Amino acid sequence: MARQQKDDQILELARTLREAPWCEEYEKMVSGMLYNPLHPLLMEGRHKARCLAYNYNNLNPSSAPFDKLIETQQEMLKGILGKVGPGTFIEPPFTPDYGCNIIMGENCFMNFGLTILDTSLVIIGDRVQMGPNVQIYTAGHETSVLSRIKFVEFGLPIRIEDDCWIGGNVVILPGVTIGRGCTVGAGSVVTKSLPAYSVALGTPAKVVKTLPSVEEELADPNNPFRNMPDRED
């Protein structure tokens, strides 16, 4: 359900984002309140995102050596997303709604076909990985038919914390937080928040296993990954 007042914490974070289409309707939109998606500034914001995404998705892979191509794509991502950390890469095609409402941390990898409806903020931590065709939906609608006739909607923020693995064809719904170190199995639909270090599967996704924390893994002398070399950027 839509919120009845603005979310000061979300608005404070939104003020740090690149080229957000700031207006009263934008403030309501990212806060989770009912808003008018046909406001001219919001429509302009979505149009800009489509233009930037088109250029990103249609970059000729043979136009430059691999390392230069990656540099170009990462620079283009800085123009699409609200914030993005170094070492993060999204395989095209990538379909954002606004783009500017997405925050991605460092060294993330998202495979082909990522769709993000960033009506509200999508906050993704460091070292998050996603399989193909993941869909992240902050956009929500009331069940009232009259609300659709009036053409109002709302959005609730989604958070994916550090070191998560999101399997292919996963759908993540509005308002969900996925805690640090979670694994979400392919094809799952995440309707509720998941605690840190969980393995969740199914529709709706349910926790089937709890994982050791990073600190516990590092303290385990028998952990096969403990002595592997760190990633080289």
Q: State pLDDT tens for residues 151-162.
A: 999 999 999 999
Domain count, the chain: 1
**Within a domain: 189:** yes
Range in 78-82, 148-152, 225-229 with the lowest mean pLDDT: 225-229
Position 54 pLDDT exceeds 70: yes
**Within a domain: 226:** no
Alpha helices, DSSP H, located in the chain: 8-14, 24-31, 40-57, 66-80, 145-149, 214-219
Q: What is the CATH number of the domain that holds 178?
A: 2.160.10.10
Question: What does the pLDDT average to over 176-198?
Answer: 98
**Within a domain: 149:** yes
Catalytic residue numbers, as ranges: 141
> Would you report the helix, strand and coil content of the chain in percent, each value rounded to 5?
25, 25, 50
Percentage of the chain beyond pLDDT 70 is 99
**Within a domain: 228:** no
pLDDT at position 35, please? 96
**Within a domain: 36:** yes
**Within a domain: 132:** yes
Position 42 pLDDT exceeds 70: yes
Position 226 pLDDT exceeds 90: no
Range of the domain at 158: 8-219
Q: State pLDDT tens for residues 120-176.
A: 999 999 999 999 999 999 999 989 999 989 999 999 999 999 999 999 999 999 999
- Reduced to 3 states (helix: H, G, I; strand: E, B; else coil), residue 140 is strand
**Within a domain: 227:** no
**Within a domain: 115:** yes
For residue 233, what pLDDT band results from cuts at 50, 70 and 90? low
Q: How far apart are CA 184 and CA 200, in angstroms?
A: 5
Q: How far apart are CA 99 and CA 53, in angstroms?
A: 9
Question: What does the pLDDT average to over 53-73?
Answer: 93
For residue 63, what pLDDT band results from cuts at 50, 70 and 90? confident
Average pLDDT, the chain: 95
